[in-house]
Amino acid sequence: MNKITSLFNIRYPIIQGGMVWCSGWRLASAVSNAGGLGLIGSGSMHPETLSEHIRKCKAATDKPFGVNIPLMYPQIDDIMQIVVDEGVRIVFTSAGSPRKWTGWLHERGIMVVHVVSSSLFAKKCEEAGVDAIVAEGFEAGGHNGREETTTLCLVPAVRAITDLPLISAGGIASGAAILAVQSLGADGVQIGTRFALTQESSAHESFKEYCLNLQEGDTQLLLKKLSPTRLVRNAFRSAVEAAEANGAGVEELKVLLSKGRAKQGIFLGDLDEGELEIGQASALLCGKRIQTVSEVMEELIGGYNEALVGLKNIPSSFS
Amino acid sequence: MNKITSLFNIRYPIIQGGMVWCSGWRLASAVSNAGGLGLIGSGSMHPETLSEHIRKCKAATDKPFGVNIPLMYPQIDDIMQIVVDEGVRIVFTSAGSPRKWTGWLHERGIMVVHVVSSSLFAKKCEEAGVDAIVAEGFEAGGHNGREETTTLCLVPAVRAITDLPLISAGGIASGAAILAVQSLGADGVQIGTRFALTQESSAHESFKEYCLNLQEGDTQLLLKKLSPTRLVRNAFRSAVEAAEANGAGVEELKVLLSKGRAKQGIFLGDLDEGELEIGQASALLCGKRIQTVSEVMEELIGGYNEALVGLKNIPSSFS
């Protein structure tokens, strides 16, 4: 047991990130059934779709699971009421102030975890009374912090300012990486990329195959004038890069981005014109096949234990 | 003993990065005397200055030390002849192909280590016959890789393609971080930022003080059209950012950069108009005073051992 496993009453301190177009009830329940904490990603769901996913998730697992809610969600009040009405016990919030909803959710007996990309926001989370913090580094796919602080630098920075249970995210795709962030002070991990590319993820198969064949450098943080986003190279991203290299402003980028690009790419599998979001750690998975959640969990746990034995056996080169 | 300590015949697998305007004989000999491997950074030295620093370093320590040589150095032939003539036994090369000089240096009995930012280049290093590889992540100060791969993602990528002794660089400023990269497969570390800000560093005191008061996000990777460089926020960087936001091309950036900016900032202490280079890990040192090399080494070793005990004691949450 550690801070994270006891907080959520789960077996392994591994949380599956609630990702747009990937994290439906199928993925979340599979992760929870395998001993981690599955999260339904509400960011890409209509309110009624979220209700349906929560119900199906409850039917598919008797283990704890949660819902991720980006706070800039347009119908945020509806979404919050749904998680209450459906009896969800754990909510991960992101992309907004933790001050707004934490008390409201707590009053309704719901645990709140907030995602941050800086120690400054981690401090605000603590002040807002959250139950745990996810510190997400520059390596993460999709929306990202302006500070560009990597997981290696972010975990100790957040650890230094709070004793709250700390979940490290961004760049973690192996058991050895889990051990590495534990060395830095994290209690658990949130893994996105690895789970986005499993059989249970609702992403399009073409997207999964494409992301399992990326090289180092194939994801880059762009759209910094708008909202920094880690994108996979494709025709759409080339258009973004060309516009940015020519000094495109916010309005021009918004037109280029248009609506529904992420759905088009991730869910519908349009690899050319869709917006493809995945983490930098995808390059470490190059050549892998699309695995099941339970295979991924086994690899993570096996890899963690192997790395731990390795560390315990290293000669005391620092004595 | 591990692969790195036995390769260089040093006590701790800690290498001090050879940094422009910081790493003279004083810093290199202090690190070597403290049990690490000090490197003289030739990148900011005239050939005759390098000779002088090598001689002074030999007089100041009887321990092994090395010289870092950026391969795009204009008088590269002179520099290489100097390290041979002065009896240097260890050379770290960077910013160029390892194919060019490795054999030549080996024939003269000199060990060669090459710095890379991708597994692709690490493979080329192995083919060129280098003795060890430095894998430098996105967190590092100054010149940086185009792939923007962070240390957390880079170390396992390089480890996967080579069994050579592997030195991890970028974002490492604590003993816990050393342990973290060991978990990922590194044998040793190269530390820049931490040593650049010691008393023995030849950087200007104002630069050191300024860099010991940075927040997360205060260093950013810019100049990507030219050569990606991690810069500290100041008036000069604001000018670079404004130019880039307006779509400035290579020529315009070259004019803006001009000559001698790094010396102006780091060595002469012009915090407004100089080019200030430091790693992202500087934010983790915020508020520290300017320490001696031996204090830094003690903290690194103490922190490493503390983190190792912590890991050994963690409950087997993955069993």
Do B188 and B85 share a structural domain? yes
**Stretch B291-316: mean pLDDT, rounded?**
91
**Stretch B185-190: mean pLDDT, rounded?**
97
Do B259 and B115 share a structural domain? no
Is residue A198 over pLDDT 90?
yes
pLDDT score of A147: 98
**Average pLDDT over chain B, rounded to whole?**
96
Mutate to test the interface with A, among B152, B214, B282 (most CBs of A within 10 A): B152
Structure tokens at B299: 């903290």
Inside any domain, residue A294: no
Inside any domain, residue B257: yes
Inside any domain, residue A268: yes
Is residue A319 over pLDDT 80?
no
* Whether B1 and A315 lie within 8 Å, measured CB to CB: yes
Angle at A53 between CA A258 and CA A9, to 5 degrees: 115
In this complex, how many residue pairs, one in chain A and one in chain B, have their CB atoms less than 8 Å apart?
176
Instruction: Tell me how crowded residue B269 is: count the other CB atoms within 10 A of its CB.
Output: 17
Structure tokens at B250: 């290579």
Structure tokens at B113: 């280590």
Do B38 and B180 share a structural domain? yes
* Whether B317 and A185 lie within 8 Å, measured CB to CB: no
**Stretch B114-139: mean pLDDT, rounded?**
98
d(CA A86, CA A272) in angstroms, rounded, equals: 38
Do A244 and A257 share a structural domain? yes
Is residue B140 over pLDDT 70?
yes
Cβ atoms A41, A68 nearer than 8 A: yes
Inside any domain, residue A184: yes
Inside any domain, residue A38: yes
Rounded to the nearest angstrom, the minimum Cα separation between B50 and chain A is 31
Residue B170 with chain A: CB contacts under 8 Å? 152
Inside any domain, residue A288: no
Instruction: Tell me how crowded residue B218 is: count the other CB atoms within 10 A of its CB.
Output: 21
Buried b (16+ CB within 10 A) or exposed e, A104-142: ebeeeebbbbbbbbbbebbebbbebebbbbbbbbbbbbb
Do A265 and A182 share a structural domain? no
Do A111 and A172 share a structural domain? yes
Is residue B31 over pLDDT 90?
yes
Do A225 and A187 share a structural domain? no
Inside any domain, residue B309: no
pLDDT score of B319: 62
Q: Which domain holds residue A80?
A: 3-202
Is residue B1 over pLDDT 90?
no
Do B165 and B211 share a structural domain? no
pLDDT score of B213: 98
Is residue B271 over pLDDT 90?
yes
pLDDT score of B312: 81
**Phi and psi based region of residue B21 (left: phi greater than 0; alpha: psi -120 to 50; beta: remaining):** left
* Whether B216 and A138 lie within 8 Å, measured CB to CB: no
Do B220 and B176 share a structural domain? no
Burial category of B286 from C-beta neighbours within 10 Å (exposed 0-12, middle 13-18, buried 19 and up): middle
pLDDT tens across B148-171, in order?
A: 999 999 999 999 999 999 999 999
pLDDT tens across A6-53, in order?
A: 999 999 999 999 999 999 999 999 999 999 999 999 999 999 999 999
Instruction: Please give the tally of structural domains in chain B.
Output: 2
CATH of the domain at A125: 3.20.20.70
pLDDT score of B267: 98
Do A254 and A176 share a structural domain? no
Instruction: Tell me how crowded residue A168 is: count the other CB atoms within 10 A of its CB.
Output: 32
Predicted TM-score of the model (pTM):
0.97
Do B244 and B170 share a structural domain? no
Write out the DSSP string of B173-240: -SHHHHHHHHHTT-SEEEE-HHHHTSTTS-S-HHHHHHHTTPPTTSEEEE-TTT--EEEE-SHHHHHH
Domain end among A202, A227, A246: A202
Mutate to test the interface with A, among B37, B151, B174, B183 (most CBs of A within 10 A): B183
Do B13 and B154 share a structural domain? yes
